[in-house]
Amino acid sequence: MQFSIVITTHNRLSLLKKAIESALAQTLPCEVVVVDDCSTDGTAEYIQSLIAQMDGNGDRPLVYHRNPVNLGHSRTMNAGVQVARGEWIKPVDDDDYLKINCIAEISQAIATHPQAVICSCQAIQVDSQGMEVTKTRQVGSGTVVYIPQEDIHYGMLLEQVPFGTPIQVAFRRDIFLKTGGWDSSLDVNFDDIDSWIKIAQFGDAIFINQYLAYRMLWPGAENQKISLPKRLQTNIAIKQKIYHLVGEKYRDRLPTFPNIKAYLHLHWSLVALKRGKIATAFQMAFPAFFSINAWRLLLSAKLTAKKRLDPSFPKS
């Protein structure tokens, strides 16, 4: 199968260079598509110079696409997938980058499970200096875990199936296009998760418990500019969409949606506390603070995360 790495960018050339370098260095050669949302920082000149240097290197084509007008993150990703020729797409934001064996490992896992339409690996989260801050949590046991389509949405609802951000995920191009791509009304605010939800309606999922990508945590990230109350409200809408997609197999064990909504209020109030936004935290916590079921869901999510992160934690 052929892969295309689609890198979206806008005026972050200093970061983009590392993303491109990691894409071109893959041990399994693949197409690299850079989609530029009207940058004015020399991005076009830089990419064009790289293409000129690579002229004739057909096994690692570098493609440059520049939007005619500024479209935003979601529609820029959609444009990149349209341009790409690979059967599978590996999205990359310009402030993230890949390990050199990322595509090779994903390709190998997919080859043994052709029913899959989406795949997620683990990522190391780093600061702006490249120093490790934290790691994403593993899913299940073993190096490669396959999740049937009927189990995906229930797992997503209860945080047991965390696909993660674009740097972790790869997806089938045809299914992405069939679902309409990323919703621009959610630009950088759960547009990726919304897409994973839609793609997962059409096949199985693969999780690779290897750290194959790096995600930068820094104040300049686009989602850091969105207020926490807005993040909360979008998260509630996303969970509601997942809730309606959970199959009959799990319907008798689903928490009520009001309890899930209350749990999300608690979760985002804790995020606000960690950021020192005390007033916002208290506003988001009430009245969920008094819901026993919401606290149970929050504790369950935290315990699930601890089991995946801490190998010494007793397994049930």
Confidence of residue 313 (pLDDT cuts 50, 70, 90): very low
pLDDT value, residue 308: 46
**pLDDT recorded at residue 304:** 67
Judged against a pLDDT cut of 60, whether residue 184 lies above it is answered with yes
pTM of the predicted protein model:
0.92
Model pLDDT, residue 316: 27
For residue 128, the tally of other CB atoms under 10 A from its CB is 12
How confident is the model at residue 220, as a pLDDT?
Answer: 72
Distance CA 287, CA 305 (A): 25
3-state secondary structure of 85: coil
Phi, psi of 73 (to 5 degrees): -65, -50
**What is the per-residue pLDDT for 188?**
84
Provide mean pLDDT across the span 227-247: 96
In the predicted structure, residue 263 carries a pLDDT above the cut 60? yes
Average pLDDT score over the chain: 92
- HEC sequence for 167-201: HHEEEEHHHHHHCCCCCHHHCCCCHHHHHHHHHHH
Q: What are the structure tokens assigned to 250, written together?
A: 């799990």
Residue 152 has pLDDT above 60, yes or no: yes
pLDDT > 90: what percent of the chain?
A: 83
- Domain(s) labelled CATH 3.90.550.10 in the chain stretch across 3-223
pLDDT at 222: 74
Q: Which two tokens stand for residue 80?
A: 């990149």
Fold topology of 3-223:
Spore Coat Polysaccharide Biosynthesis Protein SpsA; Chain A (3.90.550)
Burial of 45 (0-12, 13-18, 19+ CB in 10 A): exposed
Distance of CA 292 to the CA centre of its chain: 31
- Return the pLDDT at 59: 63
How do residues 74-105 score in pLDDT, each as one tens digit?
Answer: 999 999 999 999 999 999 999 999 999 999 99
**CA-to-CA distance for 294 and 262, rounded, in angstroms?**
5
pLDDT digits (tens, 9 = 90+) for 8-58: 999 999 999 999 999 999 999 999 999 999 999 999 999 999 998 887 666
Confidence (pLDDT) at 137: 86
Q: What is the mean pLDDT of residues 209-219?
A: 93
Report the percentage of the chain scoring pLDDT > 70. 94
The band of 187, judged by pLDDT with boundaries at 50, 70 and 90, is confident
Q: Where are the alpha helices (DSSP H) in the chain?
A: 13-24, 43-53, 73-83, 102-111, 149-157, 173-178, 191-199, 228-245, 248-251, 257-274, 278-285, 292-309
For residue 306, what pLDDT band results from cuts at 50, 70 and 90?
low
Q: Is residue 60 pLDDT above 80, yes or no?
A: no
| Residue 309 pLDDT level (bands cut at 50, 70, 90) | very low
Q: Residue 310: what pLDDT? A: 38
For residue 176, pLDDT over 50 is answered with: yes
